[in-house]
Amino acid sequence: KQEVTQIPAALSVPEGENLVLNCSFTDSAIYNLQWFRQDPGKGLTSLLLIQSSQREQTSGRLNASLDKSSGRSTLYIAASQPGDSATYLCAVRDSGGSNYKLTFGKGTLLTVNP
Amino acid sequence: NAGVTQTPKFQVLKTGQSMTLQCAQDMNHNSMYWYRQDPGMGLRLIYYSASEGTTDKGEVPNGYNVSRLNKREFSLRLESAAPSQTSVYFCASSLLGDRGYTFGSGTRLTVV
């Protein structure tokens, strides 16, 4: 059974700092990995999707990397801003089968202080 | 705006009452999902529908039923609500697994 772990559970940084969020998964046979952002009381917003054949994806100040063989992904946020404060969730879709369901980590709560 | 729409946004039920959570997507996605989110537990899959006409159990299906009404709509029913079903419920959809997932804004359900 796939398990996804996110470290740290919470992170507080001053504005302007570059930071890295970590995600690890136990079964490397994944189809893709997706990073989401969740604001308090809100739904999930997709940030980046990395296919199993890719090493990284970039969107603006965000860069996500994937090392499938070691079961790890990182989300790099450059020049953090208070508006980046949210919970960041990592989710993987296992390869094989036709259900496309995701397994989620419990998230990292990020606070960027002005 | 295209996306996943969930109704209602908030609901309070008494133990034993029934209700249906509605979900609709207008992106012509094939697959739809229901997740619940609880503090300390993360998001857990309740049921999913890989394609129109099919439904399957996820990780925590007990106490729930689903209906894939058509390609757009996927409803979640609680027949006899219990306090343990107090949670935030999210519906999601995907075209194909390689295209990623789109989530609705959630239904916050309290069972008293």
- Chosen from A4, A100, A104 to mutate, greatest number of chain B CBs within 10 A: A100
Rg of chain B on CA atoms, in Å:
13
pLDDT at B97: 57
For B100, the token pair is 């990623």
Residue B42: which pLDDT band, with cuts at 50, 70 and 90? confident
What is the rounded CA–CA span in Å between residue A79 and residue A98?
39
Residue A97: which pLDDT band, with cuts at 50, 70 and 90? low
Residue A7 has pLDDT above 60, yes or no: yes
Residue A100 has pLDDT above 80, yes or no: no
Residue B95 at interface with chain A, using a CB cutoff of 8 Å: no
Is the Cβ–Cβ distance between A2 and A24 less than 8 Å?
no
What does chain B come to in residues? 112
Strand B64-68 to A30-38 pairing: unpaired
What is the rounded CA–CA span in Å between residue A6 and residue A8?
6
* Average of per-residue pLDDT across B3-17: 96
Put simply, the answer to whether A46 touches B43 (Cβ < 8 Å) is: no
Q: Tell me which amino acid residue B64 is.
A: Y
Q: What is the pLDDT of residues A22-78, one digit of tens each?
A: 999 999 989 899 999 999 988 999 999 999 999 999 999 999 999 999 999 999 999
Which residues of chain B are within 8 Å of residue A45 when distances are taken between CB atoms?
A: 103
Lowest mean pLDDT among A60-74, A78-92, A99-113, B81-95: A99-113
pLDDT at A70: 95
What does chain A come to in residues? 114
pLDDT at B85: 97
**CB nearest to A32's CB, from B40, B44, B97:** B97
User: Comparing C-alpha atoms, which of A4, A5, A7 is closest to residue A30?
Assistant: A4
Put simply, the answer to whether A32 touches B101 (Cβ < 8 Å) is: no
What is the rounded CA–CA span in Å between residue A6 and residue A103?
12
Residue A99: which pLDDT band, with cuts at 50, 70 and 90? low
Which residues of chain B are within 8 Å of residue A49 when distances are taken between CB atoms?
A: 99-100
Put simply, the answer to whether B42 touches A107 (Cβ < 8 Å) is: yes
Residue B29 at interface with chain A, using a CB cutoff of 8 Å: no
Which residues of chain A are within 8 Å of residue B31 when distances are taken between CB atoms?
A: 99-100
Would you give the DSSP letter of residue A72? E
What is the rounded CA–CA span in Å between residue B19 and residue B7?
11
* Average of per-residue pLDDT across B5-26: 96
pLDDT at B98: 64
